[in-house]
Structure 1
Amino acid sequence: MGHSETIRRDRLEAVTALAVAVSGHRRTLWKRGEAILEGGDVDLVQALRAESQATRDAVARPLVTMRVLITDAAVREAAGRMITLTYAIRESLDNAQALAAARQEAEAAHDEFVDTAARYLTTQIA
């Protein structure tokens, strides 16, 4: 495998790892919001809060990797939007309609990031 193919593979891995980590965080925030809205057990809500902190922390490493390997402004902007909208779900944990809307926005931003990264990676084929 040549150097350019190795870099392309590493970039694909970075994009994938970031998308997966953000998806995990979004899913945990959704479960936490559902538990709060359903008047869930305090221990469950606390466990989901701890889990959401862990999944948020898990976003940092793939984000750094992606930013080191991909300097393209469109990809970075899409990643930032995806992360910002996912983190914003926390502001809607006590309102069912707002929670659903925030989740939908975050999912759309996730898809936009994946599509933007795919276009970028396609242009990088040597």
Structure 2
Amino acid sequence: MTSWLAYDSRLSRTLLAVFWWFATSVQLLVTALPFAFAGQLGLTHLGLWAGAVAALPAGPGLYAALKCMRDFAAHGYPGAPFRTFWTAWARGWNRLWRIWTGAAVLGLLLAYNAVLYGSGDAAFAAIC
């Protein structure tokens, strides 16, 4: 019974894989933040830009969560979880800042297209 609860057991690896897909899904949902802010603040420049800025820390957060999860699966509990997370967050921002900023800009462009062209396929086809 204890082998089912071990860090490197099949159950633990399956749960970590499920969490990885959940974290990736959250990252994709974060690109909808400009739309949420536009719904709260109205269709203003402030609402769209506030949503894009709110999406910026989500990418490094996902990177840090996956890094901590990978370390946990490979080496067991390393200790100092907050320091490990924030160190990985800073490293993820420094190494991949173009990707995180690009995702926020893409969300901003999609929000502006939705405002200009209305909802529907034309708003998203204009980006492509």
The question of a shared fold, defined as TM-score above 0.5 by the shorter chain, is answered with no
Larger radius of gyration: 2
Report the TM-score when normalising by structure 1: 0.43
Bigger fraction of residues in helix: 1
